[in-house]
């Protein structure tokens, strides 16, 4: 049971200022005691309600039995109800100024009824005993600029399923089973982090968790809040970081949710030109309202504090920054300067990132921002938004457009693979091949590739190697690392049976090799945000569709040379210019038979000679296989 609860005038003041970062400890439903009587303290913010009552299993859902008391200042209603047990279902019955009754789930609930039910559940989330102190202490020194970060993006409900039974009709792994299976896989493959989709409670599976109704509740689809803590704890004990998808951009209109919470727009902008997304049919948070900003910033703090989360990937940032995002003329309202920038959202991001990154050293805030908005990862005091990292959507688009081409046409689109280096240091980037790229008839990664089956695998291995050589952190969506053939669907598990086929197993072996290579050599990560860490050898060989470049480590030791051939033509006498008269050791050949290729290399070490090539004084010759990348250590 928690401590004795209740609002003070100071709590109300801080909430009104938007700076009560632990407001979730007061608002919501909290098991506690009043005198010697155990029960639950309920509190809700409903500033324009005529009255509010708690209804639930414990009072027959009767709105007359437990009316709440309104505090004088902020429109906060509170009530202690004795003898309410953990797990009890409840809602707030709100009587509007017009006399209508609204039955709303608790915005600050820590647990929810499993859909299709939508009531809140009483939970005591204070009882879990953490065992991840080694991870949490080490996290303090994590530096997103200089440390490796390879992220496995996962949707828990469709990663892997049990056979369907009467007891488990949906086949879901619960959080605890998922913890063990996922940790085993991620450790085997060599990823450093997982990014979990759809954890905050949401009513509709098909939204993938991007239309949230329970911001403070891990979804009950896979178990209890304690089960989710077990998942994070177990991943941490296995040295795996945990990032959550987080959605502060919008929320759905479901009757039990935040929309028109007390009969008026409370969480959303009142003007529908600001408060509604025409494309998505959702409501937009009012970033000018302190209590709403407090709800969201405290929510980010909540996941870090209560669940030891290591980072948040913030969804749909562009939709928040631009007042005209997805809107036609006449559908949006300019800011006070007549511009399309949402000044309130800009200030919200600076506040959010300053609080979270200031409070939780070693965590990351990652922006999914799809435009050229400047300084997304810049410091707030210098005019930036303050994110740690930004998804590189431009790189992703160009890379996929290039890789989808018949190799004959790649020479006319050579710039698609080089253009990203012109802006690679304008932000701190994550290179992403996310869930969005393998849905809605976009094809799976393997089926985006041109050619017959064998060529598809060679193309994909070459593409992945180029990605791992390019500056930026890395993210792969589940299934991409073994060549999932079908597009992803939240309704079914990944096609794990494909791993019985040699080509898929060897692709997975290759991605595993890449992931371990990435972590082994600082040249691939420690200079990600330093232009001195990357150097083109030849960026202009468009006719052959060959790219060669160097990744340099901060110490100058163990640098890596990449030679990438994106045509099905073998170059038996390929020569590459090099910076030094050194020995160059082949450490990765994507065409190696152990990865499904057919070009074994007996020679592993190549000595540079004094022969001018690629505008370099030294060079060496090498037999370059078709559709392949070779990586040399020097």
Q: What CATH number is attached to the domain comprising 44? A: 2.60.40.10
What is the per-residue pLDDT across 575-633, written as a single tens digit (0 to 9) for each? 999 999 999 999 999 999 999 998 887 789 999 999 999 999 999 999 999 999 999 99
Assess if residue 404 is contained within a domain.
no
In 3D, which of 218, 133, 233 has the Cα closest to residue 183? 233
Neighbours of 64 (CB within 10 A): 9
In 3D, which of 616, 632, 504 has the Cα closest to residue 564? 632
**CA 386/CA 367 separation, integer angstroms:** 10
- Do 169 and 292 lie in one domain? The reply is yes
Instruction: Tell me the average pLDDT across 555-582.
Output: 95
Name residues whose C-beta falls within 8 Å of residue 166's C-beta, 6 or more positions apart in sequence: none
- Do 98 and 214 lie in one domain? The reply is no
- Do 306 and 196 lie in one domain? The reply is yes
**CA 611/CA 543 separation, integer angstroms:** 22
**CA 477/CA 499 separation, integer angstroms:** 17
Contact by Cβ (8 Å): 12, 74: yes
Assess if residue 629 is contained within a domain.
yes
Name residues whose C-beta falls within 8 Å of residue 255's C-beta, 6 or more positions apart in sequence: 102, 103
Torsion of CA 290, 294, 297, 300, to 10 degrees: -160
Q: Pick the catalytic residue from 12, 195, 368, 592.
A: 368
pLDDT at 340 over 50: yes
What is the per-residue pLDDT across 273-290, written as a single tens digit (0 to 9) for each? 999 998 899 999 999 999
Q: What CATH number is attached to the domain comprising 259? A: 3.20.20.80
Sign of the dihedral defined by the CA atoms of residues 1, 293, 283, 475, in that order? negative
Assess if residue 157 is contained within a domain.
yes
Assess if residue 330 is contained within a domain.
no
Sign of the dihedral defined by the CA atoms of residues 309, 310, 312, 313, in that order? negative
Q: What is the model's pLDDT at position 262?
A: 97
Q: What is the model's pLDDT at position 246?
A: 98
Neighbours of 317 (CB within 10 A): 25
User: Where are the alpha helices (H) located in 244-284, listed in sequence order?
Assistant: 272-275
Number of domains in the chain: 3
Polymer length of the chain: 634
pTM score of the predicted model: 0.96
- The share of the chain scoring above pLDDT 90, in percent, equals 95
Instruction: Tell me the average pLDDT across 510-521.
Output: 98
- Do 117 and 159 lie in one domain? The reply is no
- Do 168 and 268 lie in one domain? The reply is yes
Angle ∠(182,184,185) on CA atoms, nearest 5: 65
Q: What is the model's pLDDT at position 2?
A: 45
- Do 72 and 153 lie in one domain? The reply is no
**CA 387/CA 375 separation, integer angstroms:** 9
- Do 112 and 163 lie in one domain? The reply is no
Please give the residue range of the domain that contains residue 33.
Answer: 9-121
**CA 623/CA 634 separation, integer angstroms:** 18
Dig out the tokens for 438 from the structure: 């393998």
Q: What is the model's pLDDT at position 240?
A: 98
- Do 194 and 316 lie in one domain? The reply is yes
Assess if residue 547 is contained within a domain.
yes
Q: What is the model's pLDDT at position 599?
A: 87
- The share of the chain scoring above pLDDT 70, in percent, equals 99
Name residues whose C-beta falls within 8 Å of residue 389's C-beta, 6 or more positions apart in sequence: 144, 364, 365, 366, 367, 377, 428, 429, 430, 473
Q: What CATH number is attached to the domain comprising 587? A: 2.60.40.1180
* Phi-psi sector, 132: left (phi>0), alpha (psi -120 to 50), beta: alpha
Assess if residue 313 is contained within a domain.
yes
Residue 78 CA from chain centroid, whole number = 35
Specify whether 315 is catalytic: yes
Q: 167: pLDDT confidence band, cut at 50, 70 and 90?
A: confident
Q: What is the model's pLDDT at position 601?
A: 79
3-state SS class at 583: strand
Angle ∠(133,139,141) on CA atoms, nearest 5: 130
- Give me Rg for the CA atoms of the chain: 27
Dig out the tokens for 203 from the structure: 């009513």
**CA 329/CA 336 separation, integer angstroms:** 17
Q: What is the mean pLDDT of the chain?
A: 96
- Do 84 and 185 lie in one domain? The reply is no
- Do 86 and 231 lie in one domain? The reply is no
**CA 434/CA 449 separation, integer angstroms:** 16
User: Higher model confidence: residue 163 or residue 478?
Assistant: 478
- Do 170 and 284 lie in one domain? The reply is yes
Q: What is the model's pLDDT at position 4?
A: 56
Half-sphere exposure of 317 (CA within 13 A, CB side): 31
Assess if residue 276 is contained within a domain.
yes
Q: Pick the catalytic residue from 63, 276, 315, 344.
A: 315
Sign of the dihedral defined by the CA atoms of residues 60, 65, 66, 67, in that order? positive
Q: What is the model's pLDDT at position 73?
A: 81
Angle ∠(166,172,176) on CA atoms, nearest 5: 115
Q: What is the model's pLDDT at position 134?
A: 98
Instruction: Tell me the average pLDDT across 364-389.
Output: 96
User: Where are the alpha helices (H) located in 405-549, listed in sequence order?
Assistant: 407-410, 415-418, 445-448, 453-469, 502-520
DSSP string, 276-344: EETTTTEE-B-TT-HHHHHHHHHHHHHHHHHH---EEEETTHHHHHBTTTT--TTSS---TTS-SB-HH
Instruction: Tell me the average pLDDT across 439-454.
Output: 94
Q: What is the model's pLDDT at position 165?
A: 75
Specify whether 368 is catalytic: yes
Assess if residue 57 is contained within a domain.
yes
Helix axes 393-404, 453-469, angle to 10 degrees: 150
Instruction: Tell me the average pLDDT across 64-71.
Output: 97
pLDDT at 1 over 60: no
Residue 57 CA from chain centroid, whole number = 36
3-state SS class at 130: coil
- Do 55 and 165 lie in one domain? The reply is no
């Amino acid at each position: 049971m928690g401590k004795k609860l209740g609002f003070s005038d100071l709590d109300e003041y801080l909430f009104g200022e938007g700076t009560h970062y632990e407001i979730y400890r007061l608002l919501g439903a909290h098991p506690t005691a009043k005198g010697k009587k155990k029960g639950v303290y309920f509190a809700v913010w409903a500033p324009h309600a005529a009255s509010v009552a708690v209804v639930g299993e414990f009072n027959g859902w009767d709105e007359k039995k437990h009316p709440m008391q309104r505090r004088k200042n902020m429109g906060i209603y509170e009530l202690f109800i004795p003898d309410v047990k953990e797990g009890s279902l409840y809602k707030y019955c709100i009587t509007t100024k017009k006399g209508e009754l609204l039955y709303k789930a608790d915005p600050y609930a820590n647990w929810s009824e499993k859909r299709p039910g939508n009531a809140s559940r009483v939970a005591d989330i204070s009882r879990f005993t953490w065992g991840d102190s080694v991870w949490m202490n080490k996290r303090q020194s994590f530096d997103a600029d200089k440390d490796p970060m390879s992220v496995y993006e996962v949707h828990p409900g469709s990663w892997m399923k049990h056979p369907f039974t009467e007891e488990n009709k949906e086949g879901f792994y619960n959080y605890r089973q998922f913890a063990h299976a996922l940790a085993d896989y991620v450790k085997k493959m060599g990823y450093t982090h997982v990014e979990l989709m759809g954890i905050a409670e949401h009513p509709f599976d098909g939204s993938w968790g991007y239309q949230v109704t329970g911001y403070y509740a891990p979804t009950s689809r896979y178990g209890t809040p304690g089960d989710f803590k077990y998942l994070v704890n177990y991943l941490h004990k296995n040295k795996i970081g945990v990032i959550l998808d987080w959605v502060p951009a919008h929320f759905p209109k479901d009757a039990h949710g935040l929309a028109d919470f007390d009969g008026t727009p409370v969480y959303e902008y009142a003007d529908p030109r600001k408060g509604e997304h025409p494309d998505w049919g959702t409501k937009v948070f009012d970033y000018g309202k302190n209590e709403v900003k407090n709800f969201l910033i405290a929510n980010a703090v909540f996941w870090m504090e209560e669940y030891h989360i290591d980072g948040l990937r913030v969804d749909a940032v562009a939709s928040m920054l631009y007042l005209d995002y997805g809107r036609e003329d006449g559908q949006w309202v300019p800011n006070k300067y007549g511009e399309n920038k949402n000044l309130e959202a800009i200030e919200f991001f600076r506040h959010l990132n300053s609080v979270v990154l200031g409070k939780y050293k070693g965590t990351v805030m990652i922006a999914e921002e799809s435009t050229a908005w400047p300084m997304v990862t810049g410091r707030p005091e210098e005019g930036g938004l303050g994110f740690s990292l930004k998804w590189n959507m431009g790189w992703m688009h160009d890379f996929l457009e290039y890789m989808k081409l018949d190799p004959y046409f790649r020479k006319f689109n050579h710039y698609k693979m080089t253009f990203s280096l012109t802006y690679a240091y304008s932000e701190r980037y994550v290179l992403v091949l996310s869930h969005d790229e393998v849905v809605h008839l976009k094809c799976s990664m393997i089926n985006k590739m041109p050619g017959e089956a064998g060529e598809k695998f060679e193309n994909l291995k070459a593409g992945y190697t180029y990605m791992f050589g390019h500056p930026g952190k890395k993210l792969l969506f589940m299934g991409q690392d073994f060549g999932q053939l079908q597009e992803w669907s939240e309704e079914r598990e990944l096609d794990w049976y494909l791993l019985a086929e040699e080509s898929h197993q060897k692709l997975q072996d290759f991605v595993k090799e890449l992931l371990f290579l990435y972590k082994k050599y600082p040249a691939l990560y420690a200079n990600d945000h330093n232009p001195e860490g990357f150097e083109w050898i030849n960026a202009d060989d468009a006719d052959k569709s060959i790219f060669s470049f160097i990744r340099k480590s901060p110490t100058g030791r163990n640098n890596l040379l990449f030679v990438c051939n994106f045509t099905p033509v073998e170059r038996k006498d390929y020569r590459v210019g090099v910076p030094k008269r050194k020995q160059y050791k082949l450490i990765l050949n994507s065409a190696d038979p152990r990865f499904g290729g057919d070009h074994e290399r007996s020679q592993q070490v190549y000595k540079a000679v004094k022969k001018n090539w690629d505008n370099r004084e030294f060079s060496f010759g090498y037999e370059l296989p078709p559709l392949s990348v070779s990586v040399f250590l020097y």
